[in-house]
């Protein structure tokens, strides 16, 4: 500021003006509030400290790492290591124990259920529902009807390797497309669909011929679904005599299954989730209500 400015005091307010004038109008030069100014100086000092302590200035092929040597990647690696260490006593115990031992030990079981619930919410709930209630083509995990077995070991295997997944140890089977491949004619598909409905006491169409339907079932379906349609856990072949239907119990839906085949896919979680999480999930799913 030149001294000239300070001499130019506005008569009404007693404040100095900037000293220049446009068309007879002058501008007040009100000083900045002191508190504001000190905060500004404070941030400048802080920024200098920040540059010294943290990574800041880019150089030719690297950057100034700062006195602290901090990096976001090292920080998250450390955070995760801390977490692992914090959980280690229980996780190690879980890793060592067999699924049966976990079931008998209340403390381990409680931990497995808590870990399982969290993992289920993110990884399993999108398909099987938040409570494990399932949806069309995604099995209900609350009932005691199991495609590949409801013992905790069976559940563990299904979660780890999936069903018709890309994993080499996957559970796998195929319901053939009897109609598409021409093994059964449309009329035969119609008959056998009615027969499947009759197995669980559902009403059948008038056109249903019991002897013909039973014969088609015997020749084509019983190898996997069993002579009485009770299913087979070895092939993931569903029980056709109960009231639980993965793809719906309507004749149209059953006929579509016979015509096109069925085969829904469950991903393998081994690799994506760690071994103890998969164990915890098996314990959790087993405890949902239908575990055998």
Partner 1 sequence: MSLWQKHQIFEKNSLILVIGVLIVISIGGLVEVLPLFYLKSTIEKVEGMRPYTPLELAGRNIYVREGCYNCHSQMIRSLRDEVERYGHYSLAAESMYDKPFQWGSKRNGPDLARVGAKYSDDWHKQHLDNPRQMVPGSIMPGYPWLAKTELDTREVAASMKVLAFEGVPYSPEMIENAEKDLVAQASVDSADADAMTKRYPKSQARKFSGLEGPVNEADALIAYLQMLGTLVDFKLYDGKANLR
Nearer to partner 1, 138 or 235 (CB): 138
Nearest to 202 by CA among 139, 238, 259, 250: 250
Backbone phi, then psi, for 84, in 5-degree steps?
-60, -40
86 vs 98 by CB, closer to partner 1: 86
CB 236 within 8 A of CB 147: yes
**Which residue shows structure tokens 């016979």?**
258
Q: Which of 1, 25, 45, 211 binds partner 1 (CB under 8 A)?
A: 1
Q: Which is nearer to partner 1, 23 or 106 (CB)?
A: 23
80 scored as a contact of partner 1 (CB under 8 A): yes
User: Tokens for 1?
Assistant: 């500021």
CA distance 218 to 221: 6
Nearer to partner 1, 28 or 75 (CB): 75
47-53: long-range contacts, CB 8 A cutoff, minimum separation 24: none
Count residues binding partner 1 (CB under 8 A). 34
Nearer to partner 1, 11 or 166 (CB): 166
Question: Are 94 and 279 a contacting pair, CB within 8 Å?
Answer: yes
Token pair recorded at residue 38 = 């000190």
User: Between residue 232 and residue 271, which ones bind partner 1 under the rule CB under 8 A?
Assistant: 264-267
Give the Cα separation of 7 and 212 in Å (integer): 115
- C-beta of 76 vs 223, nearer to partner 1: 76
Residues 154-193 that bind partner 1 (CB under 8 A): 166
Write each residue from 106 to 145 as x if it is in contact with partner 1 (CB under 8 A), else as -, in one continuous string. ----------------xx-xxx-xx----xxxx-------
DSSP assignments along 78-122, one per residue? HHHHHHHHHHHHHHHHHHHS-HHHHHH-HHHHHHHHHHHHHHHHH
Q: How near is the Cβ of 260 to partner 1 at its closest, in Å?
A: 9
* Contact positions vs partner 1 (CB under 8 A): 1-2, 18, 58, 61-63, 71-77, 79-80, 83, 122-123, 125-127, 129-130, 135-138, 166, 264-267, 272
């Amino acid at each position: 500021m030149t001294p000239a400015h300070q001499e130019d005091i506005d008569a009404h307010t007693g404040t100095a003006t900037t000293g220049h004038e446009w068309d007879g109008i002058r501008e007040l030069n009100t000083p900045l509030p002191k508190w504001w100014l000190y905060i500004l100086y404070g941030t400048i000092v802080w920024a200098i400290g920040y540059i010294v302590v943290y990574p800041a200035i880019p150089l030719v092929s690297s950057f100034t790492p700062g006195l602290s040597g901090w990096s976001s990647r090292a920080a998250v690696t450390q955070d995760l290591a801390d977490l692992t260490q914090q959980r280690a006593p229980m996780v190690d115990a879980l890793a060592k124990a067999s699924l049966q031992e976990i079931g008998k030990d209340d403390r381990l079981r409680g931990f497995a259920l808590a870990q399982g619930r969290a993992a289920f919410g993110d990884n399993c709930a999108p398909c099987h529902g938040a409570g494990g209630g399932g949806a069309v083509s995604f099995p209900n995990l609350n009932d005691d009807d199991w495609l590949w077995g409801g013992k905790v070991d069976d559940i563990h295997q299904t979660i780890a390797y999936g069903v018709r997944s890309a994993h080499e140890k996957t559970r796998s089977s195929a319901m053939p497309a009897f109609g598409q491949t021409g093994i059964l004619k449309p009329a035969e598909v119609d008959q056998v669909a009615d027969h499947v409905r009759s197995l669980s006491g559902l009403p059948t169409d008038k056109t249903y011929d019991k002897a013909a339907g039973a014969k088609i079932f015997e020749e084509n379906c019983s190898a996997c679904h069993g002579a009485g349609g009770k299913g087979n856990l070895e092939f993931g072949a569903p029980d056709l005599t109960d009231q639980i239907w993965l793809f719906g119990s309507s004749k149209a839906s059953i006929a579509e299954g016979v015509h096109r085949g069925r085969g829904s896919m469950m991903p393998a979680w081994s690799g994506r989730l760690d071994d103890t999480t998969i164990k915890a999930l098996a314990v959790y799913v087993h405890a949902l209500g239908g575990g055998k």
